[in-house]
């Protein structure tokens, strides 16, 4: 939420501070480069931009304000307000990131963080462990899902109004200093204390592969962070040597994108040919850059089905677009999000960052995937022209995301995710009420979950139940298996009756199916 200021005092200086804020961001000397093969999250670079006399004018005006204005102003708040104001004039993907968001973003993109390896939720006034990494120090020290965190170091967080962001900072630190955890188990009323040394914890992005048929593997790619390609290849390696060719179902649903090189590296493993154009980027101040296949795949990949939905964006659309444009595989699902813009991140002095769109990316056929936006002052326009695929000359359109070859509705709609958001809270509540970690003998019913949601969060569930077609009981059991550390069991249960996966299997298993039959897809 943007800070609220006195209407006259601060807004007099809004254009001034906006210009200053923008200049600060540009000369900060740091950036995240999404189109660079150097995957360092934040790197120091000399900026060659010459701001010229405009910078001098800004500094001159700022000195006048600092030395002559009649009252003090809340500089930090005004600068943040100004940054938001100026970025509102650009595309929705150019925005200001707070220091807290920068830290969280860097962790996701780096693929690891330094901590004790737990996920938490806050039920009523207490934080509980809802997920735990078996390779992390927390699990090794005996902590388990369902344990309540009473205190961290000398700070009591149970029964207080401690915010999640505050608790998160207390658990994650860049030093090797011990973290003291006071906790209680659901099986006892006693409070125990342990000291944990933070370790580097890997964040999974593509390390779960399931063989759904004898020669068909399913792999979920959550995002494209610094470890995604490595995890993808390790997953393929676990079965790739035994099967040749290996058919793949690549699930990119709700994958928001990430590092472009990671998506490109995965694509290069899906094409045996060298030098095929996978995507290219270009901007007013960025030269055209092409990304090509290496021609060095490690395994023979057969048919490919890519699953997408409205949450598939950026790197997901690059991967799906390249597969579609080269007629290399089948795209199944719903139209993707439509984000064809490249961002670079310019950190600011306050620890936040300015994320700016610097280029657009295009698919091999030359189409821009970026959708159009309303109320954009730079008259941004989407690519509404038609294009042809490279091999079969099928017609595909730009703008509005990737349109799948086979339209299949995604059962995982927003109503279902609202259910899912409450499941972990429900299961933790059952553990605490029944004084046990084991819930195998307890019936997980839709009615019990509904009653919990309505009593604890006062949300009417009739609308959710009417619009979510997934079997609630099965997903409660699936979430419980995930809590117990079995991600593969969770995925197996989540895949049951998934229409996109069923469609992918029917296409891949049909020996008569070839890419030439795409013309009959409708």
Residue-level pLDDT, tens digit, the chain, 522 residues = 333 333 334 443 444 444 444 444 333 333 333 333 333 333 333 333 444 555 556 566 666 766 777 777 666 666 677 677 777 778 788 888 888 788 777 777 888 888 899 999 999 999 999 999 888 999 999 999 999 999 999 899 998 889 888 888 888 776 778 999 999 999 988 999 999 999 988 888 998 899 999 899 999 999 999 999 999 999 999 886 777 789 999 999 999 998 899 999 999 999 999 999 999 999 888 889 999 999 999 999 999 999 999 999 999 999 999 999 999 999 999 999 999 888 888 887 778 888 888 888 999 999 988 887 764 444 456 666 788 999 888 888 777 789 999 999 998 888 888 888 899 999 999 999 999 999 887 888 889 999 999 999 999 899 888 888 888 888 899 999 888 887 888 888 888 889 999 999 999 987 656 654 444 444
The pLDDT value recorded for residue 268 is: 96
- The span from the first CA to the last CA of the chain, in angstroms, equals 45
Of 157, 178, 202, the residue at which a domain comes to its end is 202
Non-local CB neighbours of 107 within 8 Å, separated by 6+ positions:
113, 203
Minimal CA–CA distance to 498: which of 469, 473, 464, 472?
A: 469
Q: Note whether 281 and 339 are same-domain residues.
A: yes
The pLDDT value recorded for residue 335 is: 93
Q: What angle do CA 352, 357, 362 make, to 5 degrees?
A: 145
The pLDDT value recorded for residue 47 is: 39
The pLDDT value recorded for residue 19 is: 45
What's the CATH number where 213 sits? 3.90.226.10
Q: Note whether 280 and 372 are same-domain residues.
A: yes
**Rounded Cα–Cα distance for residues 67 and 136 (Å):** 53
Residue 157 lies in a domain: yes
Q: Note whether 427 and 379 are same-domain residues.
A: no
The pLDDT value recorded for residue 411 is: 86
Of 95, 121, 148, the residue at which a domain comes to its end is 95
Q: Where are the alpha helices (DSSP H) in 393-471?
A: 414-434, 446-457, 462-467
Q: What angle do CA 186, 190, 192 make, to 5 degrees?
A: 95
Q: Residue 401's Cα: distance from chain center in Å?
A: 17
Residue 121 lies in a domain: yes
The pLDDT value recorded for residue 123 is: 93
Residue 467 lies in a domain: yes
Beta carbons of 212 and 249 less than 8 angstroms apart: yes
The pLDDT value recorded for residue 311 is: 93
Element containing residue 137 per DSSP (H, E): helix 137-140
Non-local CB neighbours of 485 within 8 Å, separated by 6+ positions:
132, 134
3-state secondary structure of 179: strand
Tokens matching residue 303 = 């048919």
3-state secondary structure of 3: coil
The pLDDT value recorded for residue 319 is: 97
Looking only at the bridges linking them, the beta strands covering 341-347 and 353-362 are: antiparallel
Q: How many CB atoms lie within 10 A of CB 57?
A: 12
Residue 4 lies in a domain: no
Q: Note whether 53 and 118 are same-domain residues.
A: no
Kindly report each contact of residues 372-378 with a partner whose C-beta sits within 8 Å and lies 24 or more positions away, as own/partner: 372/399, 372/400, 373/91, 373/92, 376/90, 376/91, 377/89, 377/90, 378/89, 378/90, 378/91
CB burial of 264-303 (b: ≥16 within 10 Å; e: otherwise) equals bbbbbbbbeeeebbbbbbebeeeeebebbbeeeeebebeb
CA distances (Å), origin 218, targets 274, 309, 350: 26, 17, 43
Beta carbons of 121 and 148 less than 8 angstroms apart: no
Non-local CB neighbours of 51 within 8 Å, separated by 6+ positions:
23, 26, 27
Residue 462 lies in a domain: yes
Beta carbons of 308 and 320 less than 8 angstroms apart: yes
Minimal CA–CA distance to 252: which of 164, 139, 148, 330?
A: 330
Q: Note whether 37 and 69 are same-domain residues.
A: yes
Beta carbons of 319 and 329 less than 8 angstroms apart: no
Beta carbons of 299 and 325 less than 8 angstroms apart: no
The pLDDT value recorded for residue 78 is: 65
**Rounded Cα–Cα distance for residues 275 and 371 (Å):** 28
**Rounded Cα–Cα distance for residues 167 and 257 (Å):** 28
Beta strands in 295-419 (DSSP E): 301-308, 330-333, 341-347, 353-362, 386-388, 395-397, 406-407
What's the CATH number where 194 sits? 2.30.42.10
Residue 37 lies in a domain: yes
The pLDDT value recorded for residue 103 is: 77
Q: Note whether 335 and 466 are same-domain residues.
A: no
Beta strands in 299-373 (DSSP E): 301-308, 330-333, 341-347, 353-362
Q: Is 458 left (phi over 0), alpha (psi -120 to 50) or beta?
A: left
Q: Note whether 80 and 155 are same-domain residues.
A: no
Q: Note whether 393 and 506 are same-domain residues.
A: yes
Q: Note whether 227 and 177 are same-domain residues.
A: no
Residue 1 lies in a domain: no
**Rounded Cα–Cα distance for residues 418 and 410 (Å):** 15
Of 66, 95, 124, the residue at which a domain comes to its end is 95
Q: Note whether 127 and 263 are same-domain residues.
A: no
Q: Note whether 140 and 174 are same-domain residues.
A: yes
Residue 382 lies in a domain: yes
* Residue ranges making up the domain that contains 88: 11-95
Number of domains in the chain: 4
Q: Note whether 419 and 338 are same-domain residues.
A: no
């Amino acid at each position: 939420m943007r800070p609220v200021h006195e209407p006259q005092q601060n807004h007099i200086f809004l254009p001034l501070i906006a210009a200053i804020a923008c200049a600060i961001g540009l000369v900060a000397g740091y950036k995240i480069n999404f189109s660079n093969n150097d995957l360092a999250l934040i790197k120091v670079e000399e900026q060659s931009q010459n701001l010229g006399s405009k910078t001098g004018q800004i500094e001159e005006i700022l000195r006048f304000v600092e030395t002559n204005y009649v009252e003090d102003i809340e500089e930090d708040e005004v600068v943040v307000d100004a940054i938001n104001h100026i970025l509102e004039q650009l595309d929705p993907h150019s925005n200001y990131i707070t220091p807290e968001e920068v830290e969280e973003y860097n962790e996701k993109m780096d693929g690891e963080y330094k901590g004790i390896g737990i996920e938490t939720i806050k039920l009523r006034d207490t934080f509980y462990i809802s997920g735990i990494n078996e390779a992390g120090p927390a699990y090794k020290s005996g902590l388990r899902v369902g344990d309540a965190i009473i205190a961290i170091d000398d700070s009591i967080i149970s029964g207080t109004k401690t915010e999640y962001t505050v608790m998160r900072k207390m658990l994650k630190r860049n030093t090797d200093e011990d973290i003291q955890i006071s906790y209680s188990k659901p099986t006892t009323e006693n409070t125990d204390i342990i000291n944990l040394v933070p370790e580097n914890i890997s964040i999974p992005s593509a390390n779960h592969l399931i063989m759904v048929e004898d020669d068909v593997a399913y792999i979920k790619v959550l995002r494209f962070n610094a470890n995604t390609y490595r995890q993808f290849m390790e997953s393929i390696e676990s079965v790739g040597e035994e099967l040749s060719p290996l058919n793949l179902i690549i699930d990119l649903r709700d994958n928001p994108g990430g590092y472009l090189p990671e998506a490109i590296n995965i694509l290069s493993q899906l094409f045996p040919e060298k030098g095929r154009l996978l995507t290219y980027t270009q901007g007013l101040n960025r030269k055209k850059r092409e990304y090509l296949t290496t021609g060095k795949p490690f395994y023979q990949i057969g048919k490919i089905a890519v699953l997408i939905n409205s949450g598939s964006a950026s790197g997901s659309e690059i991967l799906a677009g390249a597969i579609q444009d080269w007629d290399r595989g089948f795209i199944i699902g719903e139209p993707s999000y439509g984000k064809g813009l490249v961002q670079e991140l310019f950190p600011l002095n306050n620890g936040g960052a300015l994320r700016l769109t610097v280029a657009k990316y295009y698919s091999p056929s030359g189409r821009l995937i970026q959708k159009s936006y309303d109320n954009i002052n730079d008259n941004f326009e989407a690519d509404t022209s038609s294009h042809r695929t490279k091999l079969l000359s099928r017609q595909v359109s730009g703008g509005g995301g990737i349109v799948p070859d086979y339209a299949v509705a995604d059962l995982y709609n927003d109503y279902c995710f609202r259910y899912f958001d409450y499941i972990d809270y429900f299961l933790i509540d059952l553990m605490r009420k029944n004084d046990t970690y084991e819930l195998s003998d307890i019936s997980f019913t839709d009615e019990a979950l509904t009653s919990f949601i309505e009593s604890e969060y006062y949300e009417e569930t009739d609308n959710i139940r009417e619009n979510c077609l997934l079997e609630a009981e099965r997903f409660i059991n699936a979430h419980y298996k995930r809590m117990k550390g079995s991600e593969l069991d969770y995925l197996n249960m989540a895949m049951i009756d998934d229409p996109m996966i069923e469609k992918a299997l029917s296409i891949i298993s049909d020996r008569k199916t070839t890419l030439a039959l795409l013309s009959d897809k409708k």
